Amino acid sequence: MVKNKHGVYAPKQKKVVVLWDLDNKPPRGPPYEAAVALKQLAQRFGDVVDMSAYANRHAFIHMPQWVVEERRERKQLDVLERKGLAVPSEPYVCGVCGRKCKTNLDLKKHFKQLHERERQKKLSRMRSLKGKKRQRYKERFISGNDKYNEAARSLIAPKVGYGLASELRRAGVFVKTVEDKPQAADWAVKRQMQHSMSRGVDWLFLVSDDSDFSEMLRKAREANLGTVVVGDGERALGRHADLWMPWIRVQNGEVAEKDLVPKSERRREEEDELFSVSSLDGNVDSESDLLDGLVDELVAARTEINAITLGNGKRLGMQLTISVDVQS
């Protein structure tokens, strides 16, 4: 029992560390939603003290196929709306000022000419300030402007990539860009795994399918550290971990409570069910019922034999009586 910040003694919460190999396992959908789903899953095991993602610069400038298709469909729809061939059911509304626009292109034009220009003025003003004045100005007009940030994410496409790093940081993930060398991200993840084992954490989440982490997972289990692997196939990493989960189900939030039972506990429960008293009693009852049925069948057969024998004896006696009478 430990004392929390409210002054109440409660059970000590387990510490969880999440390590994400972005080079091997990038998100298959919106990065923010994937990171939030992964964090929510890790929080079911305890308090998430660290959540880090590692990749080289190519992972952040790469354009996944789903992003290319999404932008292509949006561009085709913008052309149809400009020509009047497609009419939206509801007008487009600016998330900053609430102005209504007929087409998505009109909304983008309005946002860039008014709100983006005003944002650049504020940034220029902030750069001219120093010290505490600059910090207060940034907190008031730059960092706290959530409406602008939300509208900019949907209207302004990043110049490079699709905003992977910024979306992960928004979800609370520490993003580390490693050198452009082979296995650079793997070495960074391994160093962080060693650091986590020395910090006394209870659970380690690894988002990867790379078999190079098998030795580190084995060492983590020897150190009594719970390991959870999130990937696409239960191969080498899944065999060395306490628990394996499919990446697509984790992103979609489709992990049930029964899927959170480690292999050792699941095996122990199966053994308990196999040798439980109730199952043994059930076997004894079934065997006793079988014996009772067999005895009943034997008794019925014996009764029938006796009846037949008795009937034959009576018939023979009657025949002897008749023969004596005839002779006399």
Superfamily for domain range 10-62+166-263 = 5'-nuclease (3.40.50.1010)
pLDDT at 7 over 90: no
Integer Cα distance of 101 and 93 in angstroms: 6
SS3 content of the chain, % helix, strand, coil (to 5): 60, 15, 25
* Selected residue with higher pLDDT from 207 and 13: 207
How is 29-70 classified by DSSP, letter by letter?
Answer: S-HHHHHHHHHHHHHTTSEEEEEEEEE-HHHHH---HHHHHH
Question: pLDDT tier at 309 (50, 70, 90 boundaries)?
Answer: very low
Mean pLDDT, residues 277-283: 47
pLDDT, residue 324, reads 37
Question: pLDDT tier at 268 (50, 70, 90 boundaries)?
Answer: low
Integer Cα distance of 249 and 97 in angstroms: 38
pLDDT, residue 253, reads 86
Mean pLDDT, residues 284-293: 56
pLDDT at 285 over 80: no
pLDDT at 106 over 90: yes
Question: What is the pLDDT of the chain when averaged over all its residues?
Answer: 82
Question: pLDDT tier at 298 (50, 70, 90 boundaries)?
Answer: low
pLDDT, residue 241, reads 87
Mean pLDDT, residues 7-36: 87
pLDDT, residue 126, reads 93
pLDDT, residue 10, reads 65
pLDDT at 4 over 80: no
Is residue 234 a contact partner of residue 220, using CB atoms and an 8 Å limit? no
For the chain, the domains span: 10-62+166-263, 82-160
pLDDT, residue 296, reads 67
